[in-house]
Every structure is written in C-alpha cells, then in structure tokens.
C-alpha cells in the first residue's frame, strides 16, 4: 500500500531519519535508503560523521531533494537547498548511484562516501523477503501466503501461513532488490525479471506492498 | 414488466424507439473519475438487455486512469477481478433522443451477482438521496458549471500539447462582459439550443473571470436529475465545441491563471417547505446540516478536488476558498450560507472544481450534512471577515491530493455515507495519481506540467 503517513520516527541505529510533511516519492525513497544504510555497521559511522548538506538531482526527470546530515539525524526534503555543500546527480532507476554534475567538481572521497550511503548492500533475498512480509503481511488484501522461489538455486521460502496465495519467482539478486523496495515490481514483471502466479487483484496489492517498503521500509 | 417511463411496458418501449426512428441507443454512465463512458447498441440489443444490463470490463470502466493505465497498488474490491464484467443497467426514465436516429440512456453500474457496484457514483448518490427521503426530506440542488472554450479545434489543441491556445471571445477576461466576439456568443447559444432539444433546463450563462471562460447554470432539481443533466451538459459542451471547430476544457486550471469551479447549491424541503429557512439567519436544521458538512470538509475535498491540478486553484485572494470556513453571504469562505428567504435559503459549497464528479461530491455533501442533522452537530462560528490570508492557526483546506486523500481515509462519516469500499477504492486511485504525477516530471513546486495538460484537458 502506498501511504502518506510520514510521521513514523524513522530511527535507524542512533540516527533519526526524518522527512518533511507531504513528502514526494523521491524524498521517501531516499529516506528509506538512508535508513537501510544506518542499519549497516560499516555505513552507520559514515552517516554519523557527515555534516554535509547534499542536493540530489535526478538526471532523468525533475525530481530533486536535499539531504541534511548532522546533529544525530538526517533530514530529507524536496528541492535542492541554496545552502547545499554539494549537489550531485543520480538516475532514480539505479537507486541511487550518484555522479558529479557537469561543471561541478566533487572530491572523489566525498562522492564515494555518499555513493556508499545511498547504495547500501542488499540483504540476502531470504532476509529481505522476511522483512517485506513483516512490514506488509497484515495489510488489507494481502494474500495469506507468498511462496518465493529463487530461480537460480531452486530454493523456496514460504511467507505466511494463510491459504495458498501467490508464487513469486526471480533470481536471488532480483528478489533481494524487489523485497528491499528497489525497482518497480510491475515493471520487473513486465520485463520478465520476475514471474508471478496469482490474480490481478493480488498483483495490485503486491505492487502496493512493494511501494510501502520502497517509501517506508 | 420493464418500465421505460411510468406506465410504459417493454413493447411500448419498442414502440417509442420505432416512433422516434431510433436505430441505435447510447447507453452511458459516469465512472469514478467523472468520465461519461458507454457504448452504442442496436435497438434489438438494447431491448434484450433492459433487464439483464450490458456488460463492461471492470478494468476498462472503473480501473483505468486518465492516461489509460490500470490503477494498481492497493487492495481491490471484490468486483475487480481478472478483468471480469460489471453491468450497466439502463435507467429508462432517462431515455431521450440524442440526435436523429440515436437515443441516449443513463444507467447505474451493478456487479454480475446483482449488487449495486460499490464504486458507482450514481448508486452512491441514489443511496444518499433515498436516505434523505426516508427521513422525510426532499433535496433540491443546483450546479454551476464553468469551462474554458478555445478558438482552436481539438485536433489542433492536441498538436500543441494543449498549450498556448487562444481563448474564444477575445482577451477581455473580465466577468459579465457582453462585448465578446460573435463566435463566443454563437458557441453558448448553440449549447443552450442543444440543451433545450434535450429537455435539460438551463437558467443562465455568462462569461466568467478568465478569457474564454463560460459559466452555465442548470435549473434546480433533485440530486440525481441534476447530476444526470450535468453529465449530459458536459457532453453537449464538448460536442458543440467540436462541431463548431473549437475545443473546451473542464480542467480546474488550464494555465497558471484563473481556475474553474463547480459550485453546488443545496437545500432541504419537508412537506414542501424549505427547512433551511428561518427569518433571522440559518434555521436550526441548516445549522446542523452545516455542522456535518464542515466536519467532513477536509475529507470531502478529496472528492471535490480530484486531480493534481485541482489544488492549483487554492490560492488566497484569487477567488476559490482556501480555509475550512463558512459564513452568511460570504463568498470568501468554503461554504456560503444564503439565508432569510423562504425559497432561496440554501448552502453554496464553493470548493468543488469544474473537474469534479458531481454525483460523488453531492453524495458526500448530502451524506455529511444529513449526518450532521442526525447528530445535531454544531458548526464552527461563521466568518464575516475575509477568509483568505489568515494566520497559521486557521484550518486550511488540504493543499494537495495526498493530504486530501489522508483526510478522506480518516473520515468515518463519509465512509458510512458512501461506503467503505468506495472510499478505499477512491483513496487508492488518488495515491496512484500522486505517484504518477511525481514519476512524470511533477513536483511540489512545479508550475502546470505538460503531463497534467495531456492527462486532464480532454477528460477531467
């Protein structure tokens, strides 16, 4: 489910990741990514040490945001603030591999640190799926059970103990991305990166669950 | 026996079709997004489907956004299946000759198992009106319709991306100006003549505040009749524009200047007497009705301002209301109470945009107002000051499609009146709209986007 409820505290480790009222999808995705970084032992210190104000501009559309690090938290708002210490570009499709903008030289170390924070390592597909289910399994319309099949290893994970629901199949990497809220579930089905045995209503609610993790996970 | 009009049997329906030399019937209904949808059937097919209804794909009728992409991302109601059917059953009391050889009839949507379709706006309004009747009230409503007409034909507007168009009638842009070029007058006279042919009573038309903008006022009637006439009048305005080589839009704002509204006027009668009337101000019943409407105003806003562009109207000092306020004779507030007249005492709801679905907004306003009467709700104090540019502690209308959807989701009065399933489906589709806007180049600070113009100009 997409929700607009953004009043969740967003605490990850000792870092409080907050967003403005009525945030954009770009802001929510960035906040979720930083929260994921804060759960990683190697990246949490990077976030804690940073005091940068970072502007992020999408290179494919007009979305933009400002990340304000420091004082025990990260604040994410839409638009690039005039007091940004550095402004970087990103392609939202790569979630969020940042690059220097033309004519805006950036210290390589700083860019690498930012890239690390905005591209935290993915958990295993099993851990991601389990977390996905814990966040969405009780939402209205969700199937009572999701059977997740890894196309490479043949491993299978059953989420939920309700009546038989849907079967979702993909590679280990694809499953880890999907259950972590990356990409777009619908597009990944469309491209064949994932396959689903289920109904259209189940597809709808799974798309919503994916967005919930993408924006609030 | 199937009645086409009181006293008419099926064979008499057939006779009516023959007498009027009808060779096809356009069966039509308004979906959740306010779009008039339907199909044209032969007279034989029409007669055969009078009792069973006519099949429409659920996803095509109620499941596609204005960009022709399926609404996804939320729990779907039971009637949304694997592209199954829903049924449109003709309300034969609405049958009319649309043009030589073709009849038109409005219907309600039903599920295949015979239940009213939860997301059908006409069913929702029908339920609320029946509820009022059960309580002894007869509802009277009127709708003001605003639109902007352009010199360019639609095909040219499309080529231009609906930008840089030439408002019909000149650039004078001040309200009530009669010094318009003849093409503007010709357009509205042709619209009025078509409405007369279709027995849709209109009261007045005039130019509105922006260049090319018109306002058309339909006559007072019961809610279902007014909503049906609204749907048909919009169709007429589009058809006439096309025939005369022009284009017309009901977008809440087609450019960054003036917006367009669809104010609703509502009063209640009991035993032929206007119960909103009192000699010295709002009657007790009007006060409680207002109490209900005011309490649900944030949630109602989601229905009254359905699209991204709808919220661009909400600018202080520009005409539309921006705060959750009401006042007697005060047009800066969200609700203007008209009082002191035995016939004309009423409320005017000034929030709805010209792009709103009148069936839905009426159902919400009436449902919340009737709940206010039942619960003897008191409204906040009336405002006799300007209700714009107020300090930050004044309650503002939701400013975005997302804020309004949240408010609607929380409103239990509206979910009781319209049905939880309708509300949940609506909220899901508004969230889809929010996401689509942001993923197609829009943002909180964007001026009117190309995406909005292409999405809303013809269909909103």
ipTM of the shown complex? 0.91
Decide if A205 and B434 are in contact by the 8 Å CB cutoff: no
A109 to chain B, minimum CA–CA distance in Å?
31
Cβ separation B74–A141 shorter than 8 A: yes
CATH of the domain at A107: 3.30.1050
Q: Is B1 a member of any domain?
A: no
Q: Are strands A166-170 and A146-150 parallel, antiparallel or unpaired?
A: parallel
Q: Is the same domain home to B247 and B348?
A: yes
Q: In angstroms, rounded to a whole number, what is the distance separating the alpha carbons of residues B332 and B296?
A: 19
Same domain, B323 and B416: yes
Tokens at residue A150, please? 């890894």
CA distance B298 to chain A (A): 15
Residues 312-341 of B with CB under 8 A from A: none
As given in the structure block, the two tokens for residue A97 are 């591999």
Domain shared by A198 and A103, yes or no? no
Chain-chain contact of B75 with A25 (C-beta, under 8 angstroms): no
Q: What are the pLDDT digits (tens) for B412-441?
A: 999 999 999 999 999 999 999 999 999 998
* Structural domain boundaries enclosing A66: 11-118
CATH number of residue A190's parent domain: 3.30.1050.10
Number of compact structural domains in chain B: 2
Same-domain status, A107 and A29: yes
Chain A CB within 8 Å of residue B80 CB = yes
pLDDT in tens, B191-212: 999 999 999 999 999 988 888 9
Whether residue A5 is contained in a domain is answered as no
Helix (H) or strand (E) holding B39: strand B36-42
**pLDDT above 60 (res A151):** yes
Please determine, for residue B82, whether its predicted confidence score (pLDDT) is greater than 50.
yes
On whether the CB atoms of residues B267 and B345 are closer than 8 A, the answer is: yes
| Phi, psi of B90, deg, nearest 5 | -65, 135
| Interface residue B159 vs chain A (CB under 8 A) | no
What range defines the domain where residue B40 resides?
10-117
Same domain, yes or no: A154 and A55: no
**Nearest alpha carbon to residue A140 among B350, B321, B74:** B74
pLDDT of residue B1: 39
Q: Which of B93, B326, B366 is nearest to B229 (CA)?
A: B93
Mean pLDDT of B320-349: 97
Is B171 within 8 Å of chain A by CB?
no
The 8-class DSSP code of residue A203 comes to H
Beta-bridge partner residues of B264: B143, B349
Name every residue whose Cβ is closer than 8 Å to that of residue B457 and which is 6 or more positions away in sequence: B157, B162, B249, B251, B254
Per the CB < 8 A criterion, the answer to whether B417 and B299 are in contact is no
The neighbouring-strand residues paired with A167 are A147, A197
Are A70 and A153 found together in one domain? no
Tell me the pLDDT band of B83, cut-offs 50, 70 and 90.
very high
Q: Is the pLDDT of residue A132 over 70?
A: yes
Q: In angstroms, rounded to a whole number, what is the distance separating the alpha carbons of residues B264 and B350? A: 7
B 394-433 → A contacts, CB under 8 A:
399-400, 402-403, 405-406, 424, 428, 431-432
Q: Give the number of domains in chain A.
A: 2
Residue A150 included in any domain: yes
b/e map B216-252, b = 16+ CB within 10 Å: bbbebbbbbbbbbbbbbbbbbbbbbbeebebbbbbbb
**pLDDT for the residue numbered B312:** 97
* pLDDT for position B298: 98
Other beta carbons within 10 angstroms of residue A45's beta carbon come to 11
Instruction: Determine, yes or no, domain membership for B187.
Output: yes
């Amino acid at each position: 489910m997409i929700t607009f409820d953004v009043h969740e505290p967003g605490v990850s480790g000792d870092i409080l990741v907050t967003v403005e009222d009525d945030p954009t999808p770009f802001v929510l995705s960035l906040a979720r990514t930083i929260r994921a970084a804060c759960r990683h032992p190697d990246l949490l210190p990077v976030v804690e040490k940073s005091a940068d104000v970072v502007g992020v501009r999408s290179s494919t559309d007009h979305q933009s945001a400002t990340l304000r690090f420091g004082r025990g938290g990260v604040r994410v708002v839409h638009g690039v603030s005039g007091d940004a210490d550095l402004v970087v570009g990103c392609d939202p499709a790569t979630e969020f591999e940042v690059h220097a903008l033309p004519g805006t030289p950036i210290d390589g170390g700083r860019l690498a640190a930012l890239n690390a924070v905005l591209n935290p390592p993915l958990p295993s597909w099993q851990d991601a799926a389990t977390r996905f289910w814990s966040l969405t399994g009780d939402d209205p319309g969700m199937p009572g059970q999701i059977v997740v099949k890894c196309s490479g290893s043949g491993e299978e994970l059953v989420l939920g103990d309700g009546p038989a629901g849907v079967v979702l199949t993909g590679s280990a990497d694809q499953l880890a991305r999907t259950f972590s809220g990356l990409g777009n579930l619908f597009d990944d089905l469309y491209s064949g990166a994932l396959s689903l045995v289920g109904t259209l209503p189940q597809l709808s609610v799974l798309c919503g669950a994916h967005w919930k993790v993408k924006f609030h996970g | 026996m199937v009645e086409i009009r009181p006293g008419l049997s099926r064979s008499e329906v057939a006779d009516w079709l023959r007498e009027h030399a009808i060779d096809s019937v356009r069966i039509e209904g308004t979906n959740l997004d306010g779009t008039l949808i339907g199909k044209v059937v032969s007279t034989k097919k029409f007669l055969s489907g009078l009792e069973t209804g006519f099949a429409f794909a659920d996803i095509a009728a109620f499941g596609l956004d204005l960009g022709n992409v399926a609404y996804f991302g939320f729990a779907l109601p039971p009637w949304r299946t694997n592209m199954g059917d829903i049924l449109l059953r003709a309300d034969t009391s609405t049958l009319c000759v649309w043009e030589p050889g073709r009849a038109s009839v409005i219907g309600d949507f039903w599920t295949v198992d015979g239940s009213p379709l939860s997301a059908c706006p006409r069913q929702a309004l029908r339920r609320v009106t029946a509820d009022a009747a059960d309580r002894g009230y007869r509802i009277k409503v009127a709708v003001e319709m605003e639109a902007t007409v352009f010199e360019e034909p639609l095909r040219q507007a499309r080529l231009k991306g609906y930008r840089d168009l030439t408002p019909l009638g000149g650039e004078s842009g001040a309200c009530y100006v009669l010094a318009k070029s003849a093409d503007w007058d010709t357009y509205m006279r042709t619209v009025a003549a078509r409405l007369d042919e279709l027995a849709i009573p209109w009261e007045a038309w005039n130019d509105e505040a922006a260049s090319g903008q018109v306002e058309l006022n339909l006559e007072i009637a019961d809610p279902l009749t007014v909503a049906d006439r609204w749907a048909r009048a919009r169709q007429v305005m589009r058809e006439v524009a096309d025939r005369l080589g022009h284009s017309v839009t009901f977008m809440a704002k087609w450019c960054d200047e003036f917006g367009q509204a669809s104010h609703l006027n509502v009063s209640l009668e009991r035993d032929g007497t206007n119960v909103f009337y009192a000699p010295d101000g709002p009657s007790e019943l009007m006060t409680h009705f207002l109490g209900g409407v005011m309490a649900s105003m944030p949630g109602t806003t989601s229905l009254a301002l359905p699209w991204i562009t709808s919220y661009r109207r909400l600018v202080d000092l520009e005409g539309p209301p921006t705060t959750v306020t009401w006042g007697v004779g005060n047009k800066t507030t969200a609700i203007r109470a008209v009082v002191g007249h035995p016939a004309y005492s009423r409320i005017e709801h000034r929030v709805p945009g010209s792009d709103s679905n009148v069936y839905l907004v009426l159902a919400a306003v009436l449902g919340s107002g009737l709940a206010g009467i039942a619960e003897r709700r008191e409204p906040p104090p009336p405002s006799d000051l300007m209700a714009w540019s107020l300090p930050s502690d004044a309650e503002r209308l939701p400013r975005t499609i997302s804020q309004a959807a949240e408010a609607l989701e929380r409103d239990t009065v509206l979910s009781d009146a319209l049905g939880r399933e309708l509300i949940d489906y609506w909220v899901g589709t508004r969230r889809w709209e929010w996401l689509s806007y942001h993923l197609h180049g829009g943002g909180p600070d964007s001026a009117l986007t190309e995406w909005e113009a292409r999405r809303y100009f013809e269909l909103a």
